[in-house]
Chain A
Amino acid sequence: MTLNPLNIILFGVVLLLAVGFYGLLITRNLIKIVLVLQILVKAVVLALVLAGKASGNLGLGQSIAATVIVADTIVAVVALALAVQVRRRAGTLDIARISTLQG
């Protein structure tokens, strides 16, 4: 694998994905989950731009990336607001303790 810019960006995407998934695997705190989800989405945004560059449709990749950023911000805001409400009502942010699903 040569060290051209595209490969470096690809490495960045994989790194962000790894961090995000690792966080999702170990964390039980609701705020932290929102945080690692953001990291995952950033990986996706980066991958979109990368894919646009690699396939020669840079404009397409960037415009979809911009759309994802907008949508994702809304998701983050709503998720954080919900987390605040959960904390107020349940008194905890630990998802294992607020889960009521019986398996």
Chain B
Amino acid sequence: MAAILIGLVIGLPWLGAIVLWRTRDETPRLQHTLAVAFSIAAGVASLALIPFASAETVISFPMGRFFGSLTFTADGLAVTLTAIACVIGSLAVVFSVDYMRGEEQLSRYYAFVLLFIGAMTGLLLSGNLLFMFFFWEITALCSYALISFYNDDPKAVAGGIKALIITQVGGVGLLAGALTTYATLGSYQISDLLADAGKMPAGILALVAFGVLAAAAAKSAQFPFHTWLPDAMEAPTPISALIHAATMVNAGVYLLARFYPAFEHVPGWKLSVTVVGLVSALITAFMALTATDLKRALAYSTVSQLGYMVYAIGVGGVFASQFHLLSHAVFKALLFLSAGAVIHSAGTRDMLRMGALGKQMPFARNVFILGALALAGLPILNGFWSKELVLEAGLDRGPLWAYIGMLLGAGMTAFYTLRMTWLVFFGEVRESLHVHDAGKAMKVSLGLLAVGTLTTWLLAGPFGEMLHETLPFHSIHRLNLSELAHEIFTAPATYVALLVVAFGLVIFWMVRNQPTVKNEAWMDFLSRESFGFDWLNRQVAARTVQFASVLQKTQTGVLSWNVAGILGALLAVLIFLVWSVR
């Protein structure tokens, strides 16, 4: 049964992608219907898979000597994230029915969305490192294709290419990790790596560990690869909600959580993970303070919240990190989609042109506020529980300076969240935009996500239990709901965090009437340049192009030179062989 369900959650979206690719753009109703049907079917299958969670390998195809076996394992970690991907995927598709109405080339749009959902579930369920890498790269390709969906807009094309290149750099780390594992352990199975990590030479294991960290940082847009996510906001908003907030960017955190037991004893690895999370959370929270583009502000806050999850893994709180991932996926998808409803009807993403839109779109306002409160970490929404859990894990087991940094981040989060909400929905009318409230399909997905934001924290007990039962190599600190509530409400850390959050809110309240005041010039400069990392990206790109143009001179097309090159290489190989045999 579990095998059939795994086949369905990967196969249904891919089948849908093929079908949608073949549909004609003259029949948009058919395209919307098919896409919704396939994605909802996948969502139902993914929910049905949850009770079958186990540590066993469910499907195993032998693929010959060089690839190992293509195996699928539906353990607690994988089924939870699969359910997030498929359910939020189907909600994003439902939202698209309104958002993408009247757009051209819907077959391309929906085909890539469905291809992405299938690849994402494959990545999560795969028990083979090499195939995990393949699925990993397919998600990156879909992300690229969807960021550049409006392919006549140069900014969208540039953003897509930037995202593709940076995630490829990380992908090389994952590939190197997979191949090194195969070379030393003779197996691509993740369970073998987790079981036998101790048998690998320390230096090799460190190489794998830091390769995986690089891959995770690039995919989750963590420092120093955080520059691609804000530029990815040129994508249609449902894509930003699905790929760049709720699912694909979580793949990096998932990877770290998955391999945590193998790498936790590698010297310096946990500290590096902690620092990556801390730095990402702080610098992007800072950039969110000055952002004026609604989607960019949300993107910065996504990187910042992903930083919290990475930080939680760095201090050993795998459960806290995955729980925050669940909460974040729900409330951030809600925020993005309600922002999408605003952008769709206002026709601009510039928050300085909005203002007082709340009266005209009450539904979008209400759900956005709900998401914003969860993001700020106010009780009793899901963001509160998971963020407190992360901070508590940090205080218990992590270094104190990192904890203080994360507290500061929580305060900044509260500030920029309130600022966003205020600029868009409250305050004075700055420009009379004619907006209308969210459409029917939009309301369905927003409503369901809002319910999720209110309730997913109730799942903490079963979720922890499932992770504990099905992850033999992880030691999960599980709590049922009353223990969780007891632990959170009796810990002084909670009140400290709430105090910091309240402080952030109060500071904003005091300056709320000048939210558009000129930011200090240095703040603007730092934010615009991503603390110099955009400059670094541009330099790397420019140097690469320069180097390529030097190499171009060797491409003469003269046959004799080419033959001489081949012969030279052949001679070099021969000499090397003779020398190494000796």
Contact = CB atoms under 8 A, between A and B. Distances in A.
A89 B218 CA distance: 53
B559 A24 contact: yes
A95 B559 contact: yes
Interface stretch (B104-112, B178-186, B468-476, B549-557): B549-557
A103 B560 contact: no
A99 B556 CA distance: 10
A25 B564 contact: yes
Which of B553, B554, B560: most chain A CB closer than 10 A? B560
B578 interface: no
A21 interface: yes
B510 interface: no
Nearest to B564: A25
A96 B563 contact: no
A33 interface: yes
Contact of A24 (B552, B554, B557, B563): B563
Contacts of B553: 103
A24 B556 contact: no
Contact of A101 (B556, B563, B564): B556
A96 to B, nearest CB: 7
Nearest to A99: B557
Nearest to A96: B558
B301 to A, nearest CB: 49
B511 interface: no
Interface in B550-581: 552-560, 563-564, 567
A26 B559 contact: no
Contacts of A95: 559
B551 to A, nearest CB: 11
Contacts of B554: 103
Contacts of B567: 21, 25
B563 A103 contact: no
Nearest to A26: B560
Contacts of B564: 25
Interface in A11-29: 21, 24-26, 28
Contact of B556 (A25, A26, A28, A103): A103
A67 to B, nearest CB: 24
Which of A25, A95, A99: most chain B CB closer than 10 A? A25
Interface in A58-103: 95-96, 99, 101, 103
Given A24-B560, A96-B558, 10 more contacts: A21-B563, A24-B559, A25-B563, A25-B564, A28-B559, A28-B560, A99-B558, A101-B555, A101-B557, A103-B553
Interface of B: 552-560, 563-564, 567
Q: Which 3 A-B pairs have the closest CB atoms?
A: A101-B557, A103-B556, A24-B563
19 contacts: A21-B567, A24-B559, A24-B560, A25-B560, A25-B564, A25-B567, A26-B560, A28-B559, A28-B560, A33-B559, A95-B559, A96-B558, A99-B557, A99-B558, A101-B556, A103-B552, A103-B553, A103-B556, A103-B557
